[in-house]
Structure formats: structure tokens, C-alpha cells
Structure 1
Amino acid sequence: MADRKSERRGLGRGLSALMADIGIDAPNNESVERREQTRSDLQYLPVESIVPNPGQPRRSFDDSSLRELSESIREKGILQPMVVRPSADHNGSFEIVAGERRWRAAQLAQLTTVPAIVRAFSDQEMLEVAIVENIQREGLNAIEEATGYRQLIDRFGHTQEMVAEALGKSRSHIANLLRLLNLPDDVRNMVIAGTLSAGHARALVTAENPTELALRVIGKGLSVRETEDLARKVSHTKRRGNADNREKDADTRALQEDLSANLGMSVVIDHRAGGEGQMTIRYDTLDQLDQLCQLLSSVR
């Protein structure tokens, strides 16, 4: 029982140990021994001998940010060494554990060598450090962060609770981000591009038509709360429409669909056996209401 509890406290050999090992977020008053150890471990490796981490959570690198970093590197050099490990697939080369932005910027600055610390990290440790380094230094977007958590869970069999505890996040934070991976690719790309926030996207996870709703949210500039209300309203209307349609004959359903298509608005026909009934037209914007009023006014 004690062994199981210990196992659930963290990932790999512990993120605190890993981060101390490579000096990420080292305190200003770090010991002289630590600084001397870092200097003794420092190597200058050819830029071409380094390859990206295939499991790197970050997939997008902002061009303008990289150019700014490259200008800084030209003037002051690379102040924080990269962390790499020997590559199992490329003889004499190294995989990036932490510092891919610095490596990319160094190439833009036309450096031939870069400072690096070589560590024999396992695949699991490499992924853990890559996730934490990105979150702490240059925040991942929500989809990239969620993808990193999914890798930790799927590749290494960790639970959401273990990942949350090891990375200093709440379990609900991990769970909410992982839900974003259920969205269609086009909606996820909107989050990656920054046109849709993670909060907006989370409100659309259970919607039947998240792409359509995402475009409406962006077009109307809706808040997260308004997006949640929209998703609930559409879901309720859809369920009610499905229930109504099951009770209607084929001609009535076809007429509803034709009118909805022609008007560009939702039309519901409630036709009763005695010949009476009612027709409901739902509009989403004032422009649609004006359009409907003009159509009705033109009827003679």
C-alpha cells in the first residue's frame, strides 16, 4: 500500500528532481556548487548535430517571437544552455529535451554551435521536462498542453490525478483541457490560432455542431458565458425539434425544411388534425428580424 501511494506522488523520478537537474527555474540564490556543476557539464555542440524532440508538445512557433529571440542571441548569445540527450536513432546526434526555441533562433542568428547540457533522460522524463519547460517559459496553447497531457497518460499509463499532482495543476484543469481534444480538427485549429479561446471551445465540446457554433461565436464576438448559453439553447432546440419531427408526417417535415432553407431561419410547423395550427419562425439577430419584417410587409 505504501509503495502504491509513493508511486502516485509523481512521474518518472520526480519533476522537482528533473528540473533541479537541468536548472529550470533555478532560484537566484542557487548554490555555488550548482553553478559550478552546470559549468562543468556545459558543452558546445554543432547546431547541425541537434534534432528536435519528436514528442515535443509545442507544434507552433511564432515567427516574430523567434526573430526577436534571434536578434537577442546575436547581441548577447544564448544565456540559458539547452538540455539534450544522445539520440538513439541518429549516430552522434542529440535530441532536444528543453530549448527548441533557442535552437531555432540560433539557426536564424547563423550560429554554428550552441551551449548545451547532455543528460541521459528516458522517453518519459524527456516528455515531462518538455511539457513543464514550455508551460513555465513560453506558455503552450491549450491544445498543445492537452496533447502533452494525453501523451503522458497514453504512453506511460498515468492517471489524470498523477499528472495533475506531478505538474502542480488541479485535476479539473487536466480533465477540462483533455476534453478539448474531442473537438473537430477545424475547431482545435481555431484555438491554436488564437481566434477561439479555450473557454469558448470548452463550451462547445458537447455540441452536435461545434464548427458551426464556433464560427458564430467568432463572428458575433460572444463571451464565454454567451457561448455556453448558445450551446444550451441550440441543444435544447435540437432535442425539441427531433421530438416534434418524430410526431409529424413527411409532408410537414419537408415543408419545414424548405421554409427554413429559403428564409435562412429555423421554422417549426405545428399542424393539428383539425386543420388548424401554428408556425414559429426563430431569428438569431436583429438583422434577421428586419429581413423577416420586410418579407412579410411585401406580401400583398
Structure 2
Amino acid sequence: MNSIVVSSLVPVVVLIAAGYLAGKRRWIGGGAVKDLSHLIFLLLAPALLFRAMSTVHVEQLSLKPVAAYFIASGLLFSGTLALRGFNRTAAVIALANTYSNTVMIGIALIGLAYGEEGMVVLLTLISLHSLVLLTSATVVLELAVAREQAGASGTEKRPSMARTVIRALRNAIIHPVPLPIIAGLLFAQTGLAMPEAIDKPIQLLGQAFGPIALVMVGITLALTPIGRHWRGALTQALVKNLLHPLLVAIIGWLLGVRGIPLTVMVVAAALPIGANVFLFSQRYRTAEDLVTASVVVSTVLALATLTLVMMCVQWLP
């Protein structure tokens, strides 16, 4: 079990380390990080998300285990906002507490540990993971931005809540993360097949997302002083790697989810923080240093916490 976890996590750690080396040696300067972020967020991520959703048929999805995952994530997300207040920083931290690295690490790990049956369950989650969590986070972030802008305007008359919500929903949908997910899901329902001449470039762009995003985490890590953030990063990592799967296990048990579906959902929740959270912190310019440190600490810590969780889930009936 431990060897499976290590073999899945080591490539992620190596990519972050490669980015760290590139940043330390100044092969890539600080001015290029913003451009690299735009490349990832506006081109590579949409290609990955659209293609992942373009073959998903709603009627084939088993949603009960996934519901347990999202209910637990929603409780943790809401609890974070309640503790930290309604603002951009709290929203990004809440996303870090709930967004797992299901693709880069999860697919290899679940496939090796739980075989085809486990993969079916995980892919059901992956098909909705970004759609639900990233779209929800985008709505909250856009609402927080609108609220901050209204407060900074200095005018007594603020826009109505309905108008703010409508604007936030519009910005959330016309957005480089939710829009390709929705477009891919709609395309899948048509039953059409993507021409290979179009599908192959989209596939290649999507495959570039994971490595480049993780390298960028390492570059930013090297270029920003994060030593003072290690305690906060450790707290974030423990919440994501241990509290999140514990909540999923409890909610799943209460909903009657058992066996491999429950096991896969718990292990998926125990995966470290996904790189998309870092991209959100970059895009909304908040908690960038803390999120950078948290992604790295969560990934390194997962070598131990994933092993612990995967051992514990064996005791579930």
C-alpha cells in the first residue's frame, strides 16, 4: 500500500521541485509567472476540462457516493467561510480545504489500489468535481469581489443583492473554468464524436496542464518568501488531508454508502490540495503565498496521511 502511494506522489513532488529549481536559478523570472498563469488558466485548463466532460453521460453516473463527497465538502467549505468571514481570502482557503488533486494523483492511485471498479467510482466524481467545486467557488469569489468593490466605491447606495448575484453567476459561467466544463457536458449529451483532428490537439493541451501547473507552483515557491507561512500551510494540509476524508466517511456512512464506493470517496477526499486552488489564488490575487505553501505541504504530507487513510478504510464494512 505504501509503495502505491509513494509511486503516485513522487512524480508530483518532483515536478514541484523542478519548478523550484527553475525559480531559484532564475531560469524563469517573477514577471513570467503571471503570463504562465494566464497560459494555464485560459488555455490548458479549459482544454483539459472540456475533454474530460465531453464523454460523460448523465444517465450513467452513480450519484449517491458523489453526493456524500459534495455534502461533506459543502459543510467544510461553509464552515471555513463562517470562521473566516465572507471575503476572497476565506473563499480561496475554503476551496483549498475541499479541492482534491483527483486527476494528477487520484487516477493512478485509485487504479492501482482498487482496480476497474474503483476507477468507475472515481471517474464519476471527476466528471463533476470541478463543475461543482470550482463553479461554486467562483460564484462565492465573484460575490466577494462585488461586495469589496461596492464597499470601496465609497457610495452609500450599493447594488442590490439580486443584481450582485446575477452578475456573479454570469461571471461564474463565462469563466475559463466552469464554461468548458458546461460546454463539454452539453457536447457529450449530443452523442457526437469529436473529430480526431480536433480531439488530438485538445488532448495534448490538456495533458500539458498538470505538469506545467505543478512546475509553476514550484517556481512561485522559489520566488516568494513563504517560511512565515509554514504553520498556516500545515494547518491547511491537515484539514484537507485528514478532516476532509473524515467528514466524507461520516456523511457517506449516514447515507448508506458502503464498500468500494465509500472507500474511493474517502481516499479521494484524502488526496492533497489540487493545483487549481493555486490558480484561483493567482487569479483573484489573494493568499498566494499561503496557498503555494499549502499545496506543497499537503502533497508532501500526503505520503504519510494517504497511507494512514488507506489503511483505515480497510476497516470499513
TM-score category by the smaller chain?
Answer: under 0.3
- The TM-score with structure 2 as length reference comes to 0.21
Larger radius of gyration: 1
Give the TM-score taking structure 1 as reference length: 0.22
More strand by share: 1
Task: Determine which structure has the larger helix proportion and give its number.
Answer: 2
Work out which structure has the larger RCO, using CA pairs closer than 8 Å and 6 or more positions apart in sequence: 2
